[in-house]
Amino acid sequence: MGVASTTDSATAGCGCAAAAADSPLKFWRDRDGALLRLRLNRPKANICDAQMIGALHAAFEAHGREPLRAVLLDAEGPHFSFGASVEEHLAERCAAMLGALHALILTMAEFPAPVLVAVRGQCLGGGLEIALAGGPLFASPTAQFGQPEIKLGVFAPAASCLLPWRISAAAAEDLLLSGRSVGAAEALALGLVQAVADDPEAAALAWFDEHLAGKSAAALRCALGAVRAARLRGLRERLAEVERLYLHTLMKTHDANEGLAAFLAKRAPQWQHR
């Protein structure tokens, strides 16, 4: 899937072309080309559907060999993302959706430059899983983070692997089993976010300018590989395991299909606990 670009005040002199109005993703180069900017572009929900996932994957694939010092991922509108498309979670479509999302997660986790993430408003479900594949995260004071999948009778496969990278196992289980959302202050205390700021994009840019702009892209690439090596060795295997659990066990249950159907019908689910 093609990826659109956009003009922006930060892109002057970068030679960026205007994006199609309905593009799911904007991108441009900043900081004299050292920083790749990516922006989810389907406000207000910025649903991470197949088109959005494909555009993000294409962008990371296209820029993976460039001497970047970082990527900054943020979102148009008041919310980072309400999550993945519930329709694409249905039994007949979820295999394709999970395969595409997990391929994106791996590409982001293995990207050879830091992926900074700036979050405003809601960052839920698949949106949080994408944010967790990057990092560090910078949040507005009103940001909310959560994995609400359990409330629909399903679970969050990628977050089951990624949350324990960021926070304690107990805290990860709390969020994954309760489905509750946490505000920016609690997310900071948990270690989920790096900093809370009124303007998280500006905070991320300031962190880039102070800590990354003057570094060697080659050194950053090697440092990332070194610090993430053990986790990355297991991530591909763990994602495959949880994907199989989701597709071949969970989606065979009555309650998973009932929860998704109830959500789409805007009614309370009728659990049969099987």
- Go through the domains of the chain in sequence order and give each one's CATH number: 9-265 (3.90.226.10)
Task: At 62, list the tokens.
Answer: 């296209």
Contacts (Cβ under 8 Å, ≥6 apart) of 230: none
What is residue 20's predicted lDDT score, i.e. its pLDDT? 59
In terms of C-beta density within 10 A (0-12 exposed, 13-18 middle, 19 or more buried), how is residue 241 classed? middle
Which residues pair with residue 137 across a beta bridge? 117
**What pLDDT is stored for residue 249 in this prediction?**
98
Q: What is the signed CA dihedral for 74, 181, 171, 203, rounded to 10 degrees?
A: 30
Task: Give the residue ranges of the chain where pLDDT is below 50.
Answer: 1-18
- pLDDT, tens digit (0-9, with 9 covering 90-100), for 46-105: 999 999 999 999 999 999 999 999 999 999 999 999 999 999 999 999 999 999 999 999
Angstrom distance (rounded) from CA 56 to CA 40? 9
Supply the pLDDT for residue 22. 77
